């Protein structure tokens, strides 16, 4: 669906989900089978082993890293050595394990843990992912005998191969199995996107973006923890964890090298600007933010000043409007779901873009960003949108929908 240089198709290549994927941790607390004092000793011993392992990662100490593993676990040690080597060039600022629960019997235990890490100079909050560790005790010390993704978590980039690192002035690109020239071009494109987003989004944000480039769409699916089939035509997605209102999290733009590679230069710029907008607005995006607003705003920023006409940017919706099929309501979140009618998906994005353009033109760009922030501060979707429409724009949901439908006719007929 990407790569033809068509703005409607480019839009479908700029899709992301609002919720975090594999990077969001599901915390598990297991029951323990021993007496409380024994449980406390086990928990302490396991945490000490993991603390030493974390310190070895940060100090690039392969001996210390392997020392946390059971000496007899040859397969695990070989795999972990590879992962350690794959991480060599990643600029880690922190790396820690938090034990959330332990189930043990005798000298064996299973620990539900949370791995938390930051990339130095880029992450204002840690990325968290759950890991399930199997351990055994020997001579009063706990050793790791197994390490796998916890429930709800997915594969990590360095588990896919050696991570190549390219530093831009405002970006960090981490790739696996990619040509260095392609990664440098992505860093340059991301560097250009950051100031474009900052000019459109006046709220404070880190002004940096981390881009992950796996080797294929299948590898992208493993990073997201979802089937790759639904992402074959999607050029990039943005993942991130929810954070308290007004606070940013550690977002990642994950590029599908197959779909991104066939986009035109214009299409690539639109995709990276769209995704960078999601990074910038994350701190003010919440469960109360409807998809039409979050996706529409990201497209509004990306297409702002592009010189493209509404018909070029919203070709699928223009076809519908000219056929007399003007939408009766703003797009629902369900309209943005992957795997369905791609034309309907495009119309949802186009409708959201035109809703944000309507606000910018009728009320002003400052009011558009104020509206976005106001909605994100709410707790309940309908209440938050209605309140922001009234307090920021001085209108109602019914009036705004009517204005939007008229605007579609004006811009697309």
Give the range among 141-155, 171-185, 227-241, 281-295 with minimum mean pLDDT: 227-241
Query: pLDDT tens, 288-338?
Result: 999 999 999 999 999 999 999 999 999 999 999 999 999 999 999 999 987
Mean pLDDT of 4-30: 33
| The pLDDT of residue 250 | 82
Tell me whether residue 271 is in a domain: yes
Q: Within this chain, do residues 166 and 203 fall inside the same structural domain, yes or no?
A: yes
Rounded to whole angstroms, what are the CA distances from 61 to 77, 116, 120, 156, 236?
Answer: 14, 19, 18, 20, 34
Same domain for 146 and 185, yes or no, is no
Q: Which of the four pLDDT bands, split at 50, 70 and 90, describes residue 242? A: low
Q: Could you count the other beta carbons within 10 Å of the beta carbon of residue 155?
A: 17
DSSP characters over 194-255: HHHHHHH--S-----EEEEE-SSHHHHHHHHTS-GGGGTT--EEEE----STT-----EEEE
Residue 184 sits in the same domain as residue 139: no
**18 pLDDT band (50/70/90 cuts)?**
very low
The CATH code of the domain that includes 159 is 3.30.2010.30
Please report whether residue 26 resides in a domain.
Answer: no
Mean pLDDT of the chain: 89
Q: Would you state the pLDDT for residue 33?
A: 38
Q: Is the pLDDT of residue 15 over 70?
A: no
End-of-domain residue from the set 153, 184, 204:
153
pLDDT at position 124 is 86
Least confident interval from 190-204, 229-243, 311-325, 382-396: 229-243
- Give me the pLDDT at residue 229, please: 81
Question: Does 134 map to a domain?
Answer: yes
Confidence (pLDDT) at 241? 67
Confidence of residue 249 (pLDDT cuts 50, 70, 90): low
pLDDT recorded at residue 6: 34
The pLDDT of 368-389, averaged and rounded, is: 96
Asked if residue 29 is part of any domain, the answer here is: no
Q: Is residue 27 part of a domain?
A: no
Residue 193 pLDDT class (50, 70, 90 cuts): very high
Q: Are residues 195 and 309 in the same domain?
A: no
Contact by Cβ (8 Å): 215, 177: yes
For position 71, which CATH number holds? 3.10.450.50
- Residue 19: which pLDDT band, with cuts at 50, 70 and 90? very low
Which pLDDT does position 38 carry in this prediction? 55
Do 200 and 214 lie in a common domain?
yes
User: Which pLDDT band holds residue 248 (cuts at 50, 70, 90)?
Assistant: low
* Confidence at residue 215, expressed as pLDDT on a 0 to 100 scale: 97
151-177 pLDDT, tens digit each: 888 999 999 999 999 999 999 999 999
Asked if the structure places residue 351 within a domain, the reply is: yes
Does residue 31 carry a pLDDT above 70?
no
CA 378 – CA 384 distance, rounded (Å) = 5
Task: Quick: pLDDT tens for 256-287.
Answer: 999 999 999 999 999 999 999 999 999 999 99
Question: 370 and 351, same structural domain?
Answer: yes
Of all helices (H) and strands (E), which one includes residue 299?
helix 291-303
Q: Is the pLDDT of residue 4 over 60?
A: no
Q: What is the sign of the dihedral through the CA atoms of 234, 121, 99 and 84? A: positive
281, 307, 341 — which closes off a domain? 281
Higher per-residue pLDDT: 15 or 412 = 412
Residue 292 and residue 173 share a domain: no
* 306 plus 410 within the same structural domain: yes
143 and 175 share a domain? no
Q: How many percent of the chain have pLDDT more than 90? A: 80
SS3 of 262, please?
Answer: coil
Strand (E) or helix (H) holding 127: strand 127-138
Residue position matching structure tokens 């119309």: 347
Residue 291 and residue 411 share a domain = yes
Give the pair of three-digit tokens for residue 140. Answer: 């009063």
Q: Are residues 16 and 160 in the same domain?
A: yes
Domain that holds residue 191: 1-21+155-281
Q: Is 173 found in the same domain as 73?
A: no
Q: How confident is the model at residue 231 (pLDDT cuts 50, 70, 90)?
A: confident
Identify whether 31 is part of a domain: no
- Percent of residues, the chain, with pLDDT higher than 70: 88
Q: Which residue, of 153, 179, 206, is where some domain finishes? A: 153
Report the number of distinct structural domains present in the chain.
3
pLDDT, tens only, 78-130? 999 999 999 999 999 999 999 999 998 889 999 999 999 999 999 988 999 99
Task: Note whether residue 28 is domain-resident.
Answer: no
Q: For residue range 45-71, list pLDDT tens digits in order.
A: 999 999 999 999 999 999 999 999 999
Please enumerate in sequence order all residues whose Cβ is within 8 A of that of 142, keeping only pairs 6 or more positions apart, or say none: 42, 45, 46, 48, 49, 109, 135, 136
Beta partners for residue 94, in sequence order: 118
């Amino acid at each position: 669906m990407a790569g033809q240089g068509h703005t409607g198709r480019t839009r479908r290549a700029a899709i992301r989900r609002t919720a975090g994927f594999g990077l969001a941790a599901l915390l598990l607390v297991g029951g323990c089978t021993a007496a409380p004092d024994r449980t406390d000793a086990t928990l302490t011993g396991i945490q000490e082993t993991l603390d030493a392992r974390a310190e070895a990662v940060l100090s690039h100490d392969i001996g210390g890293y392997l020392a946390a593993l059971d000496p007899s676990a040859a397969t695990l040690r070989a795999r972990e050595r590879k992962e350690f080597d794959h991480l060599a060039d990643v600029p880690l600022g922190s790396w820690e394990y938090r034990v959330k629960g332990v189930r043990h019997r005798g000298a064996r235990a299973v620990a539900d843990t949370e791995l938390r890490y930051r990339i130095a100079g880029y992450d204002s909050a840690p990325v968290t992912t759950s890991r399930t560790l199997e351990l055994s005790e020997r001579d009063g010390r706990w050793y790791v005998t197994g390490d796998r993704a916890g429930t709800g978590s997915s594969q990590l980039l360095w588990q896919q191969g050696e991570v190549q690192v390219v530093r831009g002035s405002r970006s960090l690109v981490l790739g696996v199995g990619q040509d260095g020239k392609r990664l440098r071009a992505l860093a340059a494109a991301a560097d250009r996107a950051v100031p474009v987003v900052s000019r459109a989004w006046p709220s404070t944000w880190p002004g940096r973006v981390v881009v992950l480039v796996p080797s294929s769409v299948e590898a992208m699916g493993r990073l997201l923890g979802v089937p790759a089939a639904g992402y074959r035509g999607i050029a990039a997605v943005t993942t991130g964890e929810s954070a308290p209102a007004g606070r940013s999290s550690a977002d990642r733009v994950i590029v599908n090298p197959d779909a991104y590679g066939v986009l035109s230069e214009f299409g690539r710029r639109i995709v990276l600007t769209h995704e960078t907008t999601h990074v910038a607005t994350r701190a003010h995006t919440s469960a109360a933010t409807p998809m039409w607003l979050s996706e529409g705003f990201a497209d509004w920023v990306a297409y702002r000043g592009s010189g493209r006409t509404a018909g070029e940017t919203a070709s699928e919706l223009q076809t519908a409007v000219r056929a007399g099929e003007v939408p009766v309501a703003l797009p629902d979140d369900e309209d943005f779901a992957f795997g369905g009618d791609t034309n309907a998906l495009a119309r949802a994005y186009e409708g959201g873009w035109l809703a944000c353009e309507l606000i910018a033109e009728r009320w002003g760009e400052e009011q558009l960003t104020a509206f976005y922030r106001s909605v994100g501060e709410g707790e309940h979707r309908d209440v938050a949108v209605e309140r922001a429409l009234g307090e920021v724009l001085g209108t109602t949901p019914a009036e705004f929908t009517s204005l939007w439908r008229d605007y579609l006719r004006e811009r697309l007929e």
